[in-house]
Structure 1
Amino acid sequence: MPVAAGAGVDAFASRLLRWFDVCGRHDLPWQHPRTPYRVWLSEIMLQQTQVKTAAPYFERFVAALPTLPELAAAPQDQVLALWSGLGYYARARNLHAAAQGCVERHGGELPRDLDALTALPGIGRSTAAAILSQAWNDRHAILDGNVKRVLSRYHGIDGYPGLPAVEKQLWALAERHVASPDLPDTRLADYTQAQMDLGATLCTRADPACVLCPLQDDCVARREGRVAELPTPKPGKAVPQRHAQVLWLQDAQARVLLQRRPPVGIWASLWTLPQAEDAAAAQAWFAAHAHGDFAAAQRLAPIAHAFSHYKLELQPLRWRGIALRDAVGDNDALRWVARAELSELGIPAPIRRLLESDA
């Protein structure tokens, strides 16, 4: 396991904490107060999302659902509505399910135990460790994306960090650093935050500010001129492009027809406009559900949206003054929604932007 010459485990932790005391982020909304529930919520939001984006969502979420039992008791539509726009909605569904699990099995509190935390939906090893260290100052190593980047550069670790063998190496290094006798028991929360802050503000993916880094003297990547190539990028592959049509129906009262997505898959359980794979499928859906002339649709500008594993182009078709066939009507998966009610539902960001463009 390559470790930088002269880079003692103690030096890593102590230098990082000294930097954090002066330059770290001490005013994040989940730090005041820093409760287990607020730490957990922030950690879930910060998966795949930057702090500046997550912060306003966090404040809105805790204002509506300030405690774990209130989250557990909330309807799923409310949870998804509060999450709407953050993306990766499985996080919200897992958060809701985990809160219900805590009520059922842990007295309405997050368990102070690594194995019990990782048994809850949506909480992996690093997230559980971050919760334990920040909420209770327990001694646990984390290994999120920021920490992987810092350790890969500091120790000169080759290989894509997502590969099991490379990740195992990085976990071993993270565990060694957190076990340092130079890391006080009272500073575990700060140390965890310091690692994330360093990766987010200095040891960034592009254009890292090495000259300001507290670890620069012992960083293998900086010493060997390999900062730009570490961590090793994920092997690239072509991202497929898909197309679909979305049907924007409004009735005589200007209500919008929304359809709930299935409980699994893309945008699971969210409310969105009815969607068809192509024009023929869109026409068939319209004929089966609505009165009116399909050819009278207003064809709007296409919407481009990127998922983690494919790109999607949506072609909106719009009709006004539409009535549903008698056999259809409102049901659990299809309903007319007034504009004032849209904010109460979880709606995918591109669809919400489309509907709000008519405001």
Structure 2
Amino acid sequence: MNNKQTQHELLKGFMIDGFRNDLIDWFVQEQRDLPWRKDQDPYKVWVSEIMLQQTKVDTVIPYFNSFIEQFPNIESLANAAEDKVLKAWEGLGYYSRARNLQSAVREVHERYGGIVPDNAAEISTLKGVGPYTTGAILSIAYGVPEPAVDGNVMRVLSRVLHIREDIAKPKTRKLFEAVIRDMISQDNPSFFNQGLMELGAIVCTPTSPSCMLCPVQEHCRAFHEGVQRELPIKSKKKSAKQVSLVAGIFKNEQGQYLISKRPSEGLLANLWVFPNFIKMDELGTSKQQLESLMKTGYGLEVEMGDYLCDIRHVFTHLVWDINVYVGTFHGAPSADRKDVVLVTEEEMLEYAFPVSHQNMWKEYKKFM
């Protein structure tokens, strides 16, 4: 059965108008007071939606406020130094989001005169702007009836329409997009899409949905069949790869610390880190390895100090287990190493570090 037929079967006999009206009426009354809802500025909607990807609302709020204060419009973000943007994003994670956002904003600044496109054909070509972000910006900022399908929306509609397709599969997202095109309010697509998102965030939650408080309970097929906790169907992710590392916070006699910049492509691109290496057990203990690798990797003689801590950092498909030490170094790295700098503690505040290395520094400060 193709998506068109499945879509038709799902909506057969469903009271779309009643569901839509109940959802929007509830959103008007119960929506949370969030900073990106103060106006319909497409740029602010865009920034908020990128930040909210895989990140909780409470975490995003202070980052959003600070980011908009530093980069209040398209022009300011387009002209900003990347290091400054990454510093503003520091701790929020998934840093490719920030780099892609700035790249796309620069294109809007140069190609569209600083005006965020108001149609799917143009906006969807921008870097980092997928189908969900396209739908969110167009519906919220411009009132265009475009689907915005995220995890919250799929969970809500899986239950409301009793959809038992695996939401981890790309073809299922297409099904939801097709269903929403038939359901979405033509008069108020902004509140319809935001209502679905909000319902999934605060009522129709993953493990314990508050069905007795749900404004669309009477429309929910899963609730009436008593299977709401079985939905949505989602296949399990592959187990994360485990990587063991050894790292060090090294200081010289002048009070400078050694930090280096990660490559411009790949994981944590262009962020700054303390020296760290993948462990190879055949080279000895973690401490011995770090001492040796500092010489081969940086050309520096070091005096190893004490063990500091273990840091575990979990990425989507990867887990870092890091043994961290302190120590001192002598001399300076080669002048050819443009990715390595020596900084004082005060100067370090200007550099953006990933969370794992921020945590190393916090432990170091306790240690000192």
TM-score by length of 1: 0.92
Aligned with 2:10: secondary structure?
coil
**Any idea what SS the aligned residue of 2:244 has?**
strand
1:269 shift after superposition: 1.0
Structure 1 gap segments, 5+ residues each: none
Q: Match of 1:234, as an amino acid?
A: S
> 2:302, 2:253 → 1: CA distance?
15
Tell whether the 8 Å contact from 2:308 to 2:363 is kept in structure 1 after alignment. no
CA drift at 1:94: 0.2
Please give the secondary structure, in 2, of the residue aligned with 1:192: helix
Note the C-alpha offset of 1:330: 7.8
**Cross-structure match for 1:104:** 110
Give the structure 2 partner of residue 202 of structure 1.
203
**Kindly tell me: are residues 306 and 103 of structure 1, through their superposed partners in 2, closer, same or farther at Cα, counting changes over 3 Å?**
same
| TM-aligned CA deviation for residue 164 of structure 1 | 2.8
Name the structure 1 match of 2:242: 241
Q: Deviation string for 1:148-190 (max 9, x for gaps)?
A: 1111111111122121332222111111111xxxx362x2222
Contact 1:300/1:318, CA 8 A, preserved across alignment = yes
Q: Provide the C-alpha distance between the structure 2 equivalents of 1:77 and 1:291, rounded to a whole number of angstroms.
A: 26
Q: What do residues 45-103 of structure 1 show as CA deviations (whole Å, max 9, x unaligned)?
A: 01111111101000010111111111011111001000010111110010110111112
Relative to structure 1, the CA distance from residue 101 to residue 184 in structure 2 (aligned partners, 3 Å threshold; closer, same or farther) is closer
1:348 match = 354
Residue 89 of structure 1 aligns to which amino acid in structure 2?
Answer: Y
- SS of corresponding position for 2:316: coil
Specify which of 10, 23, 44 is matched with residue 16 of structure 1. Answer: 23
User: Hey, what does 2:79 align to over in structure 1?
Assistant: 73
Aligned counterpart, 1:231: 232
> How many Å apart are 1:356 and its aligned residue?
2.9
Residue 96 of structure 2 aligns with which residue? 90
Within a 5 Å distance, the mapping from 1:176-325 to structure 2 comes to: 176-178=182-184, 183=185, 185=187, 187-278=188-279, 280=283, 282-288=290-296, 289=298, 291-294=300-303, 296-320=304-328, 322-325=329-332
> Letter of the aligned partner of 2:31 in structure 1?
G
Gaps of 5+ in 2: 1-5, 284-288
Equivalent-residue separation in structure 2 for 1:259 and 1:130 (angstroms): 37
Look up the equivalent residue of 1:133 and give its one-letter code: S
Provide the residue aligned with 2:10 in structure 1: 3
- Aligned residue number for residue 286 of structure 2: none
CA contact (8 A) 2:82 2:99 kept: yes
Shift of 1:234: 2.2
* Aligned-residue offset at 1:319: 0.8
**Offset at residue 5 of structure 1 (A):** 6.7
Q: Which residue of 2 aligns with 1:164?
A: 170
* Aligned residues of 2:311 and 2:359 also touching (Cα < 8 A): no
- Contact 1:42–1:58 (CA under 8 A) maintained in structure 2: yes
CA–CA distance in structure 2, aligned partners of residues 233 and 52 of structure 1: 25
Q: Which residue identity is paired with 2:24?
A: L
Look up the match of 1:135. 141
Q: Distance in 1 between matches of 2:359 and 2:90?
A: 11
Residues of 1 paired with 2:167 and 2:360: CA distance? 38
Cα shift at 1:193: 1.6
Once superposed, what is the RMSD of the aligned Cα atoms? 1.9
What residue number does 2:3 align with?
A: none
Distance 1:339 1:153, change over 3 A: same
* 1:201 partner letter: I
1:202, CA displacement in angstroms?
0.4
Specify the alignment match of 2:128 in structure 1: 122
Q: What amino acid does structure 2 have at the position aligned with 1:12?
A: F
The DSSP-based 3-state class of the residue aligned with 1:304 is strand
Report the AA paired with residue 234 of structure 2: P
Cα distance change, pair 4–317 in 1 and its aligned pair in 2 (3 A): same
CA apart distance, 1:247: 2.3
Residue 146 of structure 2 aligns to a residue in which SS?
Answer: coil
Distance 1:223 1:122 in 2: 39
Structure 1 residues 272 and 310, CA gap change in structure 2 (3 angstroms): same
How much has 1:341 moved relative to structure 2? Answer: 2.7
Deviations, residues 279-300 of structure 1 (Å, cap 9, x unaligned) = 6453333124355445x33212
**Counterparts of 1:200 and 1:354 in 2: how far apart (Å)?**
33
Q: CA–CA distance in 1 between the matches of 2:268 and 2:74?
A: 24
